[in-house]
Amino acid sequence: MERHACNGWIERWQARLLGAATLLVATLVLTITLILVVGAAKFLQSRGWRIQVLLGAHWNPLAGHFEIGLFIVDTIIVTALAMALTLPFGLGVAVFGAYVAGWRERAALRWLLTIFAAVPSVAMGWWGLAVVVPSVRRIFGGPGFSLLAAGAVLAVMLLPTFSLLALEVLDKVPEDWHQASLALGASEDQNLLQMALKVSLPGLKTAFLSAVARAMGETVAVQMVIGGAVYGFHGVLGPGATLTTQILTDMAILPLGHPAHGVLDLMALILLVALMLLTTWAQRGDDRP
Amino acid sequence: MVAIAMERVSVWYGRVKALNDVSLEVQPGSVLALIGPSGCGKSTLLRVLNRLIERTPSARVAGRVLVDGRDILAPDVDLALLRRRVGMIFQRPVSFPFSIFDNVAYGPRLHGMKNPHQLRQVVEASLKQAALWDEVRGKLRRPAHGLSGGQQQRLALARALAVNPEIILMDEPTSALDPGSAARIEELVVQLKGRYTVLIVTHNLQQAARVSDFTGFLDRGQLIELGETSLIFTAPRDRRTEAYLTGQFE
């Protein structure tokens, strides 16, 4: 009896502590969002809620011009470039790991990808500075610091995580299904394209969207190779700035308390909302039948 | 001509010998039941016939296997063609996470059938042959995973029939099913007799007795005896067969 009573007491407190922890997390998320929303709203109000803030490309904080359209466009372009490069390579690596490699090669591959995934972004940026930027300059001309360089560095950063996720997804296709498919006369290619990849699509979509979210949110590595140009669009081979890198660049000249600090809140809020939507969408794709 | 002839076929998994010098012949249109204790090599024997055994990296096959007089172990054999002619049903019903229609159409599509009208016809005919048509007609676009286990096994049969095989291998096709569903599969096996050559592996001796024309008894990789089902069950020649049939085995 006494033990039961004691357990009940402990369990009640456990439940309360766990509940409190959950509440804390929820409060944090809400508070962060709220602060950004309030900051962004104040800023937009000071600009008379003009849509030009989002669509325009005139950015000169010291002169009072705050139009962030260029950063949104650059963010989209850099992310798209990164995904276009990562997708074929990552899928290739995943298919190799799941279906071609023997168990020894597969273990080595997993180990390598896991290590690779843990490389800090500043190291990737440094590598980008040393290798990617000069390569872009040599091959395509121009300054080298460019959206393309940023996309390439990002692609290399995303590759291990995306490959690992995709490999897990392909690995989950039951052996029964492979055998049933092959027993009907499917070649290995047909089995891959018409069965395995097809049934893995929801999982691969999740892996893809997670990679997109990571690409949009990455800051330091991109900042190191993108060139930071804020006056006008210079094309894929020219320098630019994304939402993340521009927050990094301008947080010093628009500190808290500055009347235009809110524009940074607005940029952060846009990123936050975009990533929330992406993540939600990604998880929805994961409900396999 | 015999449908299948195995000549001194042995299979090793690594160093373990799973089939030992098995020779047998199967008459076209007949049903051969393979019985024997677990691990005796029954499933291995089936997997040699469509060369699915090659999915097991450690497996090695020796001997000759003739299907319609041609050696299917030869390196230049067209695997896709072989597996079209030799269909297979597994112990656990396998449905792809597609619609009922796409499950049945999977095989024909692999082999290049694109015409939607033709596909519909094949799907309908196969589902009718597998006695599933009445239950799924008008619901062909629904996911196959919504079907019951017994229905899924009949769907697997329809999918195998859709590529128009000559031989159907069944690896314990009813052991994961309830008795009612199992009985329906048995009925189907009897109906398939004559048009298809069927090899069925089963642990259910009554089932072997009910559906098969011939029965083979395997023990520890060896084919102990093979003969007409009525004879095997009433007057087995080998002591070990008798022991197994009377339950003094395992």
Same domain, A170 and A229: yes
In 3-state terms, what secondary structure has residue A132? helix
Which of the four pLDDT bands, split at 50, 70 and 90, describes residue B62? very high
Among chain B, residues having any CB pair with chain A shorter than 8 Å are: 50, 52, 55, 57, 79-84, 87-88, 90, 92, 94, 96-98, 106-107, 109-111, 143, 145, 156, 159-160, 163
| Alpha helices, DSSP H, located in B75-178 | 79-85, 100-110, 116-129, 133-136, 149-161
Same domain, A85 and A26: no
Q: Is A257 contained in some domain?
A: yes
Task: For residue A279, give the CATH number of its domain.
Answer: 1.10.3720.10
Condensed to tens digits (0 to 9), the pLDDT of residues A26-69 reads 999 999 999 999 999 999 999 888 888 888 889 988 888 899 99
Same domain, A118 and A19: no
Q: Give residue for tokens 């033990």.
A: A3
Q: Is A218 contained in some domain?
A: yes
Contacts of A199 in chain B (CB under 8 A): 96-98
Same domain, A165 and A38: no
The CA-atom distances, in angstroms, between B200 and each of A176, A272, B128, B142, B185 are: 18, 59, 21, 30, 11
pLDDT of residue A257: 85
Interface A:B, Cβ pairs < 8 A: 66
pTM for the structure as a whole: 0.85
Q: Is B123 contained in some domain?
A: yes
Nearest CA in chain B to A189: B110
Q: Which amino acid belongs to residue B235?
A: A
Same domain, A197 and A244: yes
pLDDT of residue A94: 96
Domain count, chain A: 2
Task: For residue B84, give the CATH number of its domain.
Answer: 3.40.50.300
Report whether pLDDT(A3) > 60.
no
> Testing the interface with B: which of A105, A184, A192 to mutate, by most B Cβ within 10 A?
A184
Domain around B78: 4-245
Which of the four pLDDT bands, split at 50, 70 and 90, describes residue A6? low
In 3-state terms, what secondary structure has residue B93? coil
Under a CB-based contact definition with an 8 Å cutoff, are residues B14 and B197 in contact?
no
Domain count, chain B: 1
Which of the four pLDDT bands, split at 50, 70 and 90, describes residue A289? very low
Q: Is B17 contained in some domain?
A: yes
Domain around A198: 69-284
Measured in angstroms, the CA of B95 and the nearest CA of chain A are apart by 8
Same domain, A162 and A103: yes
Same domain, A127 and A256: yes
Same domain, A182 and A265: yes
Q: ipTM > 0.90?
A: yes
Average per-residue pLDDT for chain A: 92
Q: Is B109 contained in some domain?
A: yes
Report whether pLDDT(B181) > 80.
yes
Q: In what order do the strands lie in the sheet with B4-13?
A: B16-26, B4-13, B59-67, B70-71
Contacts of B159 in chain A (CB under 8 A): 180, 184
Same domain, A133 and A74: yes
Q: Is B250 contained in some domain?
A: no
Nearest CA in chain A to B89: A180
Same domain, A39 and A79: no
Condensed to tens digits (0 to 9), the pLDDT of residues A212-233 reads 999 999 999 999 999 988 888 8
pLDDT of residue B247: 84
Q: Is A17 contained in some domain?
A: yes
Contacts of B83 in chain A (CB under 8 A): 182-185
Q: How far apart are CA A192 and CA A178, in angstroms?
A: 9
Structure token digits, residue B245: 């049939």
What are the b/e assignments for A156-183, b being 16+ CB within 10 Å? bbbbbbbbbbbbbbbeebeeebbbbbbb
